[in-house]
Chains A and B, each alone.
Chain A
């Protein structure tokens, strides 16, 4: 089975949010509801010795996704041909009824719910519509810094190496998140 994954070049990310806005436009997501592509800003230090990093994370489409096991209705499935983890909102019980078990087990808070009781889980589907047409996900094609890539994991590893480290990202071996980094070291 092929497993598609993300490459994130953290040292390139200028925190411009273009990927995130492009994602909302493509998937027609209202502002202030949910974020499929989330950008964390990490500020450290005291004036004038400062560091600032950004980390864009969508869904890591894990090899062993904990959300999939936690879901009581099997609403979360993993596509066999490319390993994309998607959610069937018809089957999802919703935030209150289920207790958002998928969110509780995800180390990266990927599952997203709108702010109402019946909200169904939604998250990055790696733009399956575009992947099936042979295109890149919209975030990859949007990034003005060419800091994102999506391809079969082995291909990404050949191209960019095997780094599992990024500032404020915790790699979980047991879930095998499909993501590699060009990590930004504090020394630069």
Chain B
């Protein structure tokens, strides 16, 4: 913005957007006066409108928060203590560059860990430019696995060979029954318009059932029936539903014959011929706490009310063996023939349009089927987007590396929830690198992954920590150097939809960067100069790069229109129905799996030869489940879902905080037996840590379960008790064989602490 505009007293409307990792990505129209945003409007143009939710509407309080990081800082106290001094950009950048060079020289590039978070998401800004800069510097150790969805992604790949398994939201109107399984789009959006479409379906007479341990806003408002289920046992109920369907001969035999492989193996397991235990509704009732008649009824209804949409959320898959839940749901949609048809739904990853990819995922598969048979991969030319540390690496064990479009299977990578062990143990502990330096961008890493207290040890063990962020997060307190980054309002960017609906957003810069903050691109360019990196994106200007990033997306027909309007809504001829082609013309179109069919029995899983990741979906328990011996000490199951008033650990603004207090949800039964009243301070604890938090005593959660919404900031008292109520003080690090994060698989105990609510600092 020019000087002229700043002095102009008139209000200008700048078309921009909100794009955090909330489940949305929505239009914001910033009203700017005297160089300052005074208010926002959202999309009021052509339908379908991309209306922002409360998070976006509160954005002004993020941009102008007093808590913004204003200038670069250097640590003066202990790591984690939060003591810093102000330094100049020159000094900060020099010292980051010097450390990067030193670590590279002394060890190698794999000693550099790049922690790329989702706190600041655009196509260009956020983590992209830093990754490119580090690639050109010789690479870095990268993580694999996404806490949100790894279980769902793995299952989607194993069953269908692709993550493109969703139908357009408007197609929900064609369903006769919708099952929202562990799915709460009223709070987590799932691309704008999803809760609205569910509401319209219900108004049209479509029956909607919610299966969830919590009576969520979706269960209450969008559904007409709620089935509470014990966490970590959803798979058992899905398998019992298959039992009812097969036994009563309600499965779609033609569909199974024509489009799937492995039904017989599954039937053998479900009917108890494999292990002598028939997976009846009575069997599932004892595991899930869902009455068997409910299981029977839902199974019959789902199999006979065709087309029906079973939508399996990512939350139940965010457990130990969570991939089995996602697999069992996918298989149930297959045996009832609800795939590839309007009104049905192939339960899976749920992407329904290509806006997030330039290469359509799951189009091709690789030739090798066995790690042992893989020779050293062919060396091709290193491109700027290739990380030299990953380049030509062999695949890890237990990956679906033969399929294209899933998680990068390179052996050089460390699982996101396992990196504390990697830092603490290094190559000696069997990890692929000895980590010395962490470069953390847009990630409140410590707060948002399993086992926070182990994370503290790991971050303290590093030689050097760089944090690039907008706020002094609990993670930033562990930095040696903090680099302040600006917000979306202070730069230009393009955003793709969160899940992948047919639209793009252009974020026009609304105001000048506040304080001394810089964009991630500017920081990367400055560091590139100091590291002797030339060429590539780092020599290009912002708009030039944005044009380049938009170019491969052939559905953006008019870049300038997108820039002018702040959005580009792609016109699609008809709703997207995943696998429609494969179902209509199986001769011509195969599923992108090894067999070319929907894999109820997955050959790639069989080859892993790991009983913990069987080729057919199975119910597997684990040592932090309801039936574990550990329950004698820690009898409650902790779940850590997303709430409606933050996005992970971002967006802690006053307008949002007042919407809903951060409290632990506990059932009346469990509270009464512990003499806990609503509003009392309680301690939730296990061997990994202890948090102190007000109790919300409610009928809306099933007995035996306690819920602490993830994202509240860790705020330790001197004795180590977290007064911030951070869920990950209690969760586990480590991961399921597929890479699923067991963040909903923790056993805890709860005890009364005090009557006073005021003791909890914010």
- Note whether A and B form a binding pair: yes
* A contact residues vs B (CB 8 Å cutoff): 11-18, 20-22, 24-26, 28, 30-32, 43, 45-48, 50-54, 136, 138, 141-146, 188
Residues of B contacting A13 with CB < 8 Å?
221
Pairwise interchain contact A45-B54, C-beta atoms closer than 8 A:
no
Pairwise interchain contact B52-A15, C-beta atoms closer than 8 A:
no
**Nearest CB on A from B338, distance (A):** 24
Q: Which of B59-83 contact A (CB under 8 A)?
A: 60-61
Contact digits for B48-61, partner A, Cβ 8 Å, 1 yes 0 no: 00011110011011
Q: Complex formed: what's the CA distance from A141 to B645 in Å?
A: 20
* B contact residues vs A (CB 8 Å cutoff): 38-42, 44, 51-54, 57-58, 60-61, 186-187, 192-193, 195-196, 199, 202-203, 215, 217-218, 220-222, 224, 226, 228, 644-645, 653-659, 667-669, 698-703
Pairwise interchain contact A31-B658, C-beta atoms closer than 8 A:
yes
Q: Complex formed: what's the CA distance from A18 to B53 in Å?
A: 5
Q: Complex formed: what's the CA distance from A20 to B222 in Å?
A: 21
Starting from the known contacts A16-B54, A48-B226, 20 additional A-B residue pairs (CB-CB under 8 Å) come to A11-B203, A15-B186, A16-B53, A16-B644, A18-B54, A20-B659, A21-B659, A22-B57, A24-B655, A25-B57, A31-B655, A47-B701, A48-B215, A50-B220, A50-B226, A52-B221, A142-B42, A142-B51, A142-B57, A144-B53
**Nearest CB on A from B47, distance (A):** 10
Q: Complex formed: what's the CA distance from A18 to B187 in Å?
A: 11
Residues of B contacting A54 with CB < 8 Å?
221
Residues of B contacting A46 with CB < 8 Å?
699
**Nearest CB on B from A36, distance (A):** 13
Residues of B contacting A143 with CB < 8 Å?
51
Q: Complex formed: what's the CA distance from A52 to B222 in Å?
A: 11
Pairwise interchain contact A14-B659, C-beta atoms closer than 8 A:
no
Pairwise interchain contact B60-A14, C-beta atoms closer than 8 A:
no
A-B contact list, 6 entries, CB within 8 Å: A30-B654, A31-B655, A50-B226, A50-B699, A54-B221, A145-B199
Q: Complex formed: what's the CA distance from A183 to B114 in Å?
A: 53
Q: Complex formed: what's the CA distance from A13 to B221 in Å?
A: 7
Q: Complex formed: what's the CA distance from A39 to B625 in Å?
A: 37
Nearest to A138 among chain B residues (CB) is B41
Interface of B, secondary structure class, is mixed
Q: Complex formed: what's the CA distance from A141 to B51 in Å?
A: 8
Residues of B contacting A16 with CB < 8 Å?
53-54, 186-187, 217, 644
Pairwise interchain contact A31-B657, C-beta atoms closer than 8 A:
yes
**Nearest CB on A from B462, distance (A):** 37
Nearest to B51 among chain A residues (CB) is A144
Pairwise interchain contact B57-A14, C-beta atoms closer than 8 A:
no
Residues of B contacting A136 with CB < 8 Å?
44
Pairwise interchain contact B60-A25, C-beta atoms closer than 8 A:
yes
Residues of A contacting B57 with CB < 8 Å?
18, 21-22, 25, 142
Pairwise interchain contact A15-B42, C-beta atoms closer than 8 A:
no
Residues of A contacting B698 with CB < 8 Å?
43
Q: Complex formed: what's the CA distance from A136 to B51 in Å?
A: 14
Residues of A contacting B202 with CB < 8 Å?
188
**Nearest CB on A from B216, distance (A):** 9
Pairwise interchain contact A144-B195, C-beta atoms closer than 8 A:
yes
A-B contact count (CB 8 A): 117
Q: Nearest 4 A-B pairs (CB), nearest first?
A: A31-B654, A52-B220, A14-B186, A21-B54
Nearest to A12 among chain B residues (CB) is B199
**Nearest CB on B from A135, distance (A):** 8
Contact of B659 among A17, A28, A50, A51 (CB under 8 A): A17
Q: Complex formed: what's the CA distance from A143 to B655 in Å?
A: 16
Nearest to A44 among chain B residues (CB) is B699
Pairwise interchain contact B658-A32, C-beta atoms closer than 8 A:
yes
Residues of B contacting A28 with CB < 8 Å?
38-39
Q: Complex formed: what's the CA distance from A54 to B199 in Å?
A: 15
Nearest to B654 among chain A residues (CB) is A31
Pairwise interchain contact B51-A14, C-beta atoms closer than 8 A:
no
Pairwise interchain contact A15-B217, C-beta atoms closer than 8 A:
yes
Q: Do A21 and B221 contact each other (CB < 8 Å), given the known contacts A32-B654, A48-B228?
A: no
**Of A18, A30, A138, A143, most B-chain CB atoms within 10 Å:** A18
Nearest to A140 among chain B residues (CB) is B44
Q: Do A50 and B224 contact each other (CB < 8 Å), given the known contacts A21-B58, A32-B654?
A: no
Q: Do A47 and B699 contact each other (CB < 8 Å), given the known contacts A17-B644, A54-B221, A142-B42?
A: yes
Residues of B contacting A141 with CB < 8 Å?
41-42, 44
**Nearest CB on A from B747, distance (A):** 21
Nearest to B31 among chain A residues (CB) is A26
Nearest to A30 among chain B residues (CB) is B654
Residues of B contacting A11 with CB < 8 Å?
199, 203, 221
Nearest to B645 among chain A residues (CB) is A17
Q: Complex formed: what's the CA distance from A67 to B356 in Å?
A: 54
Q: Complex formed: what's the CA distance from A128 to B172 in Å?
A: 38
**Nearest CB on B from A163, distance (A):** 15
Q: Complex formed: what's the CA distance from A44 to B186 in Å?
A: 20
Q: Complex formed: what's the CA distance from A146 to B203 in Å?
A: 13
Pairwise interchain contact B218-A14, C-beta atoms closer than 8 A:
yes
Q: Complex formed: what's the CA distance from A52 to B218 in Å?
A: 10
Q: Complex formed: what's the CA distance from A52 to B58 in Å?
A: 25
Contact of A14 among B41, B193, B217, B703 (CB under 8 A): B217
Pairwise interchain contact B199-A52, C-beta atoms closer than 8 A:
no
**Of B51, B653, B667, most A-chain CB atoms within 10 Å:** B51
**Nearest CB on B from A139, distance (A):** 10
Pairwise interchain contact A43-B186, C-beta atoms closer than 8 A:
no
Pairwise interchain contact B54-A14, C-beta atoms closer than 8 A:
no
Q: Complex formed: what's the CA distance from A58 to B354 in Å?
A: 41
**Nearest CB on A from B61, distance (A):** 8
Q: Complex formed: what's the CA distance from A52 to B214 in Å?
A: 12
**Nearest CB on B from A101, distance (A):** 27
Q: Do A14 and B699 contact each other (CB < 8 Å), given the known contacts A138-B41, A142-B57?
A: no
Q: Complex formed: what's the CA distance from A147 to B230 in Å?
A: 33
Q: Complex formed: what's the CA distance from A11 to B192 in Å?
A: 19
Residues of A contacting B60 with CB < 8 Å?
25
Residues of A contacting B199 with CB < 8 Å?
11-12, 14, 145
Residues of A contacting B51 with CB < 8 Å?
18, 142-144
Nearest to B215 among chain A residues (CB) is A50
Residues of A contacting B226 with CB < 8 Å?
48, 50
Residues of B contacting A50 with CB < 8 Å?
215, 220, 226, 699-700
Q: Complex formed: what's the CA distance from A25 to B656 in Å?
A: 12
**Of A43, A141, A144, A146, most B-chain CB atoms within 10 Å:** A144
Residues of B contacting A144 with CB < 8 Å?
51-53, 192-193, 195-196
Q: Do A43 and B700 contact each other (CB < 8 Å), given the known contacts A18-B57, A52-B221, A144-B51?
A: yes
Nearest to A51 among chain B residues (CB) is B220
Q: Complex formed: what's the CA distance from A155 to B199 in Å?
A: 24
Q: Complex formed: what's the CA distance from A141 to B50 in Å?
A: 11
Q: Complex formed: what's the CA distance from A53 to B222 in Å?
A: 11
Pairwise interchain contact B192-A43, C-beta atoms closer than 8 A:
no
Nearest to A18 among chain B residues (CB) is B54
Nearest to A146 among chain B residues (CB) is B196
